[in-house]
Structure 1
């Protein structure tokens, strides 16, 4: 049984803001964050479940990921999720469920959402779902996979909403 999830809403709030900034960075890639001028890299977007699965497999195979988190050795299966509310991770079966494209909406078929779910997969069994260890791991994944600019943006945004980082 995992610990209480006391900062879930803060994590979701921070991640939603980061996603909006990344959406705008397509046209305006230079942003000022906590006194630093950053050029944000483009966020990967996915066209299919197969492309999400390929991405997940590649992230788990990274030497630094496999060396740091033992659960990286457990493969993840990606499947479609009904509805559009949110993606989620099913720990018992190591499954990431992602809402697919519906009309012009594909908010979950993007790198930051998938990394969030991978961060859940890599968690210790007794860890709070969105606690300090989770936020620290998410920042580390973003730093190593997306880039340090987006990791700084995520860190500052999490701190601004009052989330604790491990």
Structure 2
């Protein structure tokens, strides 16, 4: 039995804000920003061209020594597939499948590092834990992945926007 997913919309709303911050930086508004009095430089977020490139990235993340040491579930391979819907990526725990929308009109919004790391944070949930899908434990896994892979600045932005949106970490 899983716990109620009462943070889902809060997490999604916060992530939408963070993706917007990264999108504006990519459009040339600059990578430097001030957030609650802290000055930082956003890292470049990886973008992917295909399901195959997302698969390669997911495989590489799960093979990292520190990921293997921290989360035993990282030894379970994940399969990446195209998703028919355009509104969301999702993770299918029964088959360890990450489903990403590939083309959504003119946008390829889901073929990006933040989305893939979000879905990998779902994959890394301990077997049988029965946790809320977007609960505090998920938030912690996601923040660790972002901090260690994208960098401290990206994690700071995500953590700050989470707090501002009422998302509870563990």
Settle same-fold status: TM greater than 0.5.
Answer: yes
Could you tell which deviates more after superposition, 28-37 or 107-116? Answer: 28-37
Q: Quick one: structure 1 residues 83 and 148, their matched pair in 2 at CA, closer, same or farther if it must change by over 3 Å?
A: same
Aligned residue for 1:11, secondary structure, equals: helix
Alignment RMSD, CA only? Answer: 0.9
Unmatched tracts of structure 1, length 5 or more: none
Q: Quick one: structure 1 residues 39 and 51, their matched pair in 2 at CA, closer, same or farther if it must change by over 3 Å?
A: same
Is 1:162 the counterpart of 2:161? The answer is: no
Q: 1:116 aligned to 101, 110, 118, which one?
A: 118
Is 1:19 the counterpart of 2:19? The answer is: yes
Q: 1:148 aligned to 143, 149, 152, which one?
A: 152
Unmatched tracts of structure 2, length 5 or more: none
Shift of 1:13: 0.6
Which residue of structure 2 lines up, in the alignment, with residue 35 of structure 1? 37
Could you tell which deviates more after superposition, 140-149 or 22-31? Answer: 22-31
Mapped partners of 1:23, 1:138: distance in 2 = 20
Q: 1:86 aligned to 70, 85, 88, which one?
A: 88
4+ long deviations beyond 4 Å: none
Could you tell which deviates more after superposition, 52-61 or 97-106? Answer: 97-106
Q: 1:65 aligned to 54, 61, 67, which one?
A: 67
Summarize deviations over 1:113-154 as a string: whole Å, max 9, x none. 000000000013311100011111111000011110000000
Count residues in correspondence.
166
Mapped partners of 1:41, 1:149: distance in 2 = 7
Mapped partners of 1:24, 1:122: distance in 2 = 30
